[in-house]
Amino acid sequence: MAKIIMGIQIEQRREIAVEVQNLLTEFGCNIKTRIGLHNASDNKDVCSETGLILVEFIQNAEKEVSELEERLSKIQSVVVKKMVF
């Protein structure tokens, strides 16, 4: 049983975040841990256009992980990397 962690880098975060979030929600039952990172500023009027989401999956979800990876990769400005331990 492999431990799978996926990194999802998002450019143009404000334009595509909803689409990415919808996919993560669709596959939510397979997600064990999810951490969102982006460059924040003390100036509330400035919001980073890039973001990074780290996702750890439950055991035995290889098929679902592959499907999510494929669908995320089709979104322009999204880069997906996967680590398998």
Predicted confidence (pLDDT) at residue 5 exceeds the cutoff of 80: yes
pLDDT in tens, 14-60: 899 999 999 999 999 999 999 998 777 677 777 788 899 999 999 99
User: How far, in Å, CA of 85 to CA of 65, rounded?
Assistant: 14
Q: What is the CATH number of the domain that holds 74?
A: 3.30.70.1150
Structural domain count, the chain? 1
pLDDT value, residue 47: 77
The whole domain housing 12 covers 4-84
Predicted confidence (pLDDT) at residue 62 exceeds the cutoff of 90: yes
Q: Are 2 and 85 in contact (CB under 8 A)?
A: yes
3-class SS string, the chain: CCCEEEEEEECCHHHHHHHHHHHHHHCHHHEEEEEEEECCCCCCCCCCCCEEEEEEECCCCHHHHHHHHHHHHCCCCEEEEEEEC
pLDDT value, residue 74: 97
Angle at 82 between CA 78 and CA 85, to 5 degrees: 165
**The most confident of 1-5, 10-14, 63-67, by mean pLDDT:** 63-67
Higher pLDDT, 79 or 44: 79
